[in-house]
Every structure is written in C-alpha cells, then in structure tokens.
Amino acid sequence: MLEIYERGVEGPREVEARIVLDHQQRDRGRLRTHALDGREVRIFLERGKPLLVGELLRSQCGKYVLVEGAEEPVTKASCDNWLTFSRACYHLGNRHVKMQIGERWLRIAPDHVLEELLTLLGLSLVQERAVFVPETGAYSHGHQHH
C-alpha cells in the first residue's frame, strides 16, 4: 500500500506507480484507490485543491505516483462565433457549472438541461469520452491552461 501526503513534486523522478482518476476523484483530498499495477493507494492531502493530470505525488515511503486522467463521458459544445461561445460560457459560469474551455469549444459533464441551453444558444453538441479537465477557477491555487 502507498500512502500519499505530499503533492506537487517537481523535476524528473522515477515513477513507481500510476493512478487513473476521473475529474470528481481528482477533486478529493482524501481518496482510496488502486494503481494500475493493483497496489492500493491512499491519498491524504489538503482539501480544496484538485489533483492535476500529470502531477507527481510522493508516498510516505518515498515512491513517486503519477496522476493520470480517466476518460469519461462528456458533452463537447462548439461553434464558430466568438460572441455565441462567450454567451454560452457566461450562462454556464453563472450556474457555476464545471467546464473545460478550449478555442470556441467547451466540455461539460453530460446534463440534458444544460445541453438544451447550449443548443438554444446555437452551439453544436457531441457526446464523447475524453479526459475532463475543468477550469479550477480564478481563486484556486492550481489554475493553469492546457
């Protein structure tokens, strides 16, 4: 079993184990999961700062664990018009919806009400499986663009 108490390890390290987590699991400060090799991994970190895809964690015994993103069902909405796209981001943000934002595309967790809103605003929707990396927010510590 690997117990994790440290995150954000920098520099090249030999990865001992890999864990694949969806966006909800990456939001948790306390988590019990399994590495790809089957070993149990227990995470004990500060709450309120999501784990980042590609982040290295250090176990209590000094081994390094890499966080990978799990592919999960998402709705991708896109359009060619910046004003339409901006309006969609405004309306979703006003509802505090977690979203991943790209250049005139966004991803959300599947939700038929929000999908109808996006369609009414003029965006095209596609259901897909992808690693969902929502924006962490302006006031969080881990904000970065991908």
Q: Is the pLDDT of residue 46 over 50?
A: yes
Total number of residues shown for the chain: 146
pLDDT of res. 138: 63
Half-sphere exposure of 96 (CA within 13 A, CB side): 0
Going by pLDDT thresholds of 50, 70 and 90, the confidence category of residue 15 is: very high
One of 3.30.70.790, 3.40.228.10, 3.30.1370.100, 3.60.20.10 is the CATH number of 71-131, namely 3.30.70.790
d(CA 85, CA 121): 9
For all residues of the chain together, what is the average pLDDT?
92
- Which residue type does 126 have? V
d(CA 92, CA 104): 14
| 3-class DSSP state of 75 | strand
**Six-digit token pair at 109?**
């967790």
Residue pair 23/99 in contact (Cβ under 8 Å)? The answer is: no
Supply the pTM of this predicted model.
Answer: 0.85
Could you tell me the residue ranges of all domains in the chain? 2-69, 71-131
Q: What kind of architecture, by CATH, is found in domain 2-69?
A: Sandwich (2.60)
